[in-house]
Amino acid sequence: MPSPCSPPRTWAEISLSGLRHNLRVVKARSGQNVMAVVKANAYGHGIEQVASAFAKEGVCYFGVAHVYEARQLAQLNQDVPIYLLSPTMPQERAEVIQAGWTACLSSFEEIEDFERIAQAKHKQATVHLALDTGMGRGGFLPQDLLKAFHQVETSAAFKLEGIGSHLPSADEDPVYTQAQFEQFDTLVESLPRRLQYIHLANSAGLLDYSSRTTNLVRPGLMLYGVSPLPQYQSLLHTTMRLKSVISLIRQVPAGHSISYGRSFTTQEDSQIATVGIGYGDGLPRALSGENLQIDYRGHMIPVIGRITMDQIMCLIPPHLTAQAGDHVEIFGTATSITEIAALSKTIPWEIFTGITPRVLRSYKDEQTLLQ
Ligand SMILES: *Cc1c(COP(=O)(O)O)cnc(C)c1O
């Protein structure tokens, strides 16, 4: 991990065994096939290492956002098929068909264009029908489903492999989500043929709901150790611990201002640690002034003043002696990423995907990560 000649300032310790554990929880809880969602660099964990770990453990599909991520995955030569969760742009469709990636279709224009390109290449496009049951982001509206099904089903240009829809409120609105499951099941049951893959649930959907028709789940967040529904958090193992290093210890007198805007002033002679993390690493600046505390050797020490791009300042209590080079943990053990997200008025998905490329990812295989 930290190289002796130039220690990294911030690193994310990633537990591959934690990822594998969470995948096993998904399988046990859902009893269905799993599309491991590895978009956005596997929620910041590193798509290559995560996809390799999941492929070894056994998944049915990898879900990525779009072709850039599909290309990254394809280079790994895993045997696991790749599903594009977002729409495919016209100029990408030939590549998608050629590579054998699975596209989801939301419109008759897409059906016609994919059909034309597949015919010209003498290839079949593997596709799923996307159905809009309330997300409003993509998919055929329910009244268009049978027509779309028929058009794809009767064309030799397609392998119609599945159908899916998405849940907008599975972690917020159980009444609505229950009705959405019912509507989806009824629509799927109205199709003339049962497709190979039928899918609706994200993490929250698979944790708390059941379906008469689905046989595939699409978890993201819970694979990365965070339950969108707090009552299931204890099932999961932490997969990322964000750590940083004290780069400087200084004594400053009472009445001294700290950081941009001078929002904090010392009350007394103080031992101030400067720590090598900032919003340039993905620590939200919105945490400034929110009483954020970080873990220094089992002690929670307050972050004072505003978060800067590369550094934060912490108040080390007089009874502790800290040194430059000592490690701190921002989230993972004492503080969860869910708590950090709440303090910064956002969601854990955004914190994970906001960890920037300059943060080193360091992979551990142990069940528990001890420093
Ligand atoms: C991102 C995404 C998921 C994964 O959602 P989580 O809430 O992270 O489990 C599932 N399905 C689709 C369509 C997505 O875009």
Could you check whether 16-225 and 240-364 share the same CATH topology? no
**Distance (Å, rounded) from C-alpha 341 to C-alpha 343?**
5
pLDDT range class, residue 6, cuts 50, 70, 90: confident
**Distance (Å, rounded) from C-alpha 220 to C-alpha 226?**
9
Contact 269, 228 (CB under 8 A): no
240-364 maps to CATH 2.40.37.10: yes
Q: Quote the pLDDT of residue 366.
A: 53
Q: Is 260 a catalytic residue?
A: yes
Residue to mutate, 37, 132, 169, ligand 1, most ligand atoms under 8 Å from C-beta: 37
Q: How far is the CA of 335 from the centre of ligand 1 (A)?
A: 24
Catalytic residue among 56, 147, 260, 345: 260
Of the candidates 125, 131, 117, the one whose C-alpha atom is nearest the C-alpha of residue 101 is 125
Q: Which fold, 16-225?
A: TIM Barrel (3.20.20)
Catalytic residue among 39, 61, 243, 279: 39
Q: Once rounded to an integer, what is the mean pLDDT over residues 201-226?
A: 98
Of the candidates 370, 332, 371, the one whose C-alpha atom is nearest the C-alpha of residue 351 is 332
Q: Once rounded to an integer, what is the mean pLDDT over residues 259-275?
A: 98
Residue to mutate, 25, 85, 229, 349, ligand 1, most ligand atoms under 8 Å from C-beta: 85
What's the length of the chain? 371
Q: How far is the CA of 34 from the centre of ligand 1 (A)?
A: 12
Structure tokens at 59: 């998944």
What is the overall mean pLDDT for the chain? 96
Closest ligand 1 atom number to CA of residue 222: 9
Domains in the chain: boundaries? 16-225, 240-364
Q: Does 22 sit in the ligand 1 pocket, CB within 6 Å?
A: no
Terminal alpha carbon distance of the chain: 12
Q: What percent of the chain has pLDDT over 70?
A: 97
Of the candidates 244, 179, 247, 189, the one whose C-alpha atom is nearest the C-alpha of residue 213 is 189
Q: Quote the pLDDT of residue 196.
A: 98
Q: Does 34 sit in the ligand 1 pocket, CB within 6 Å?
A: no
Q: Quote the pLDDT of residue 371.
A: 38
Q: How far is the CA of 243 from the centre of ligand 1 (A)?
A: 27
Q: Quote the pLDDT of residue 365.
A: 78
Q: Quote the pLDDT of residue 2.
A: 58
